[in-house]
Amino acid sequence: MRNHSGNYDYIIGRDAPPVVAELKSLFEQLPDAELLAQLKGRVRRGPKGYEPDILWRCYVAYYYLGLDSVSALIRLLEDNPFIAQACGISSPESIPSQPTFSRFGTKLAKHTGEFILAVKNVHRNLTRKLYATLPDFGKTVAIDSTDVKGWSNAIKKGKKRSGKVRRQKPRVGKVSDPDAGWCVKKNTEGTKKYVFGYKIHILADAKYELPMVVDISPGNMHDIRKASALLREARTVTGKFVPDYVLADAGYSSLPLWRLIKNQYRAEPIIDPNPTHKVIVARNKKTSEWKKIYSQRTSIERLNGRLKGFRKLNSVRVRGRFKVRIHAMMSVIVCQALALATESRASVRGVA
């Protein structure tokens, strides 16, 4: 599909598929100027590499299209010049390689660098734009966590030591992702499910079913240990975080959390009480009004399902908590940007 000049000039004037227009609208909604400026950095001598904005757009398209792997992304860019040109690629020879994308992802996730904070600021700015765009955004919020399988075999251990001299010391008794942990949850049938990986903790708006704050933890961390951090982060992002109701399931049944929501955030905690927590049970009378408000908590479960099914949240292909944090933020960033690219509530739910 290329011409003799080797570029994509021949597709100008042709009708692009609808996905290209959606992708361009997504790029326009991203407040990524700070991130791109930091990625470009100072002018240096030496061979010029790939432009950071091209790699960033390809990375965003990777999550928007929900592709299985970076190899699938490269094949798509080779087979679909419309999408390649939308990402800023001018010719087939300009498509980045798999190692290039791998290095770019590692660069974003490097915990000692400024890029991971810049990506987080993209997410924060999108949350602020949602506050400014959607009426009553953040008035009824829900907290929940969902497990994702890590890119690691929890049973396979490291290599045994040998007498040979090696450049890298072999791991002994460690899995390939030591930051992950075992998550044990009951499914809808009541049987226990074991997943070795991470938990994605999300604070979301229950009306629009859109994420506001995201964080990760090893799979063996209890949900309630991240609840106060999610609420604090929401207030850090914007001073407009003044919810009327905070919804959560029985996993968040705790008197300290109940008091925190009531006293510090001046909101009504609608938390399904654990039957063994007598004080919480006494304070949460399950009236018809309480049940009506609590029924909105299922919105965050639908959001988790869409993030897993369409935005790659459940498709972890990296190891280490910093890379997994970037993975979760990218899934949420695409979800938020797509919501802002639409104009109606029905469209927001459809693309999230």
Residue 154 has pLDDT above 90, yes or no: no
- Which amino acid, residue 135? P
pLDDT in tens, 79-96: 999 999 999 998 888 899
What pLDDT, on the 0 to 100 scale, is given for residue 44? 57
Cβ neighbours, 10 Å, residue 327: 24
| pLDDT recorded at residue 346 | 47
Quick count: other Cβ atoms within 10 Å of Cβ 345?
14
What is the predicted pLDDT for the residue at 8? 74
Window from 68-72, 102-106, 166-170, 311-315 with minimum mean pLDDT = 166-170
Reported as a pLDDT band with limits 50, 70 and 90, residue 45 is low
Confidence of residue 103 (pLDDT cuts 50, 70, 90): very high
Distance CA 195, CA 38 (A): 37
DSSP 95-161: PPPHHHHHHHHHHHH-TTSSHHHHHHHHHHHHHHHHHHHSTTTTSEEEEEEEEEE-SS-SS--PPPP
Confidence of residue 13 (pLDDT cuts 50, 70, 90): low
Helix (H, G, I), strand (E, B) or coil at 224: helix
pLDDT of 111 reads: 77
- Mean pLDDT of all residues in 249-263: 92
Which residues lie below 8 Å from residue 21, measured CB to CB, with a gap of 6+?
none
Is residue 348's pLDDT more than 60? no
Question: In 3D, which of 163, 162, 159, 154 has the Cα closest to residue 171?
Answer: 159
Whether residue 3 has pLDDT greater than 50:
no
How does residue 5 score in pLDDT terms, banded at 50, 70 and 90?
low
Distance separating alpha carbons of residues 146 and 306, to the nearest angstrom? 12
Residue 157 is predicted with a pLDDT of 62
Mean pLDDT score across all residues of the chain? 87
| Mean pLDDT value of segment 179-203 | 88
Which is higher by pLDDT, 12 or 167? 12
Q: What is the pLDDT of residue 4?
A: 40
